[in-house]
Amino acid sequence: MKYIQQNYVKYNKGNGFICGLADALHATPPAADVFTDKIVESIMVKTRCAGIISTVSRKLADLNRSPNGDNDLAIEEYRHALKDILEFLNIVDSDQNQLTHPYLHLSFHGMKDDHYGPFGMEIGTVRGRSCSTEIRDWFEETLTKKAQPVIPDITLIFDQKFIGNESIAFHRLGDGERYQGYGPHFHTFQIELSRTFRREHRSQLIDIFSEIMIDFQNTFVNQ
């Protein structure tokens, strides 16, 4: 996989056809969400979607936050990479800076097994602010349908403990200040995976989320 290397992230723009992005914003030690970079890269290979992987530790600059003075340059670079990816797809209206097609953003993170057990997965949408109600319902139904037969012991939670940092909603809604956001077609899901899931069941996770990425394309984009 070839990447565009920056100071805080590396990214690949995908094949220019898949309206989707996978990212791993806490991929770099120390305090890394281990294996999230492997998951993202494998989804990129299987689907040819775009991907962004952090190259700086959250201890130095947390990319899964709003600008706070310490991470401003890193956030600016991350948002520039996202803009580059979206413009490569040619789905940004030049006048309004809003997306013209539905777009799926899967952001992978790690949590301890202590929270929901070794087969725990929580999906955060900032309680519905980072995506539409229609896409959230579709995502929950599709993920449940695909995951339960493959991993019957899964504990799948939505928006309880790890609801997602407010910054993931800004891609859709803007932050009211410097970042406009890309409008109602942008849909972000923050995916928290237990360590056991990430370590022992990566291949199943990669298959599940790759299928979801392609299903989204076929259901909402290629209409």
Q: How far apart are CA 114 and CA 5, in angstroms?
A: 35
Q: Can you give the pTM of this predicted structure?
A: 0.97
Number of structural domains, the chain? Answer: 1
pLDDT at 187: 98
Walk along the chain (223 residues) in steps of 10 and give the mean pLDDT of each run: 96 98 97 97 98 97 94 97 98 94 98 95 98 98 97 96 96 93 98 97 97 98 91
pLDDT at 223: 79
CATH no. for residue 20?
3.40.630.40
pLDDT at 1: 87
pLDDT at 183: 98
pLDDT at 177: 82
Nearest residue to 209 via CA among 123, 133, 129: 123
Domain span holding position 54: 4-221
pLDDT at 27: 97
Sheet of 20-24, strands arranged across? 4-5, 9-12, 50-54, 20-24, 103-111, 186-194, 120-124, 155-158
* 30 preceded by a cis bond (ω within 30 of 0): yes
Taking the CB of residue 61, how many other CB atoms lie within 10 A of it? Answer: 20
pLDDT at 94: 85
pLDDT at 191: 98
Nearest residue to 219 via CA among 14, 20, 16, 15: 20
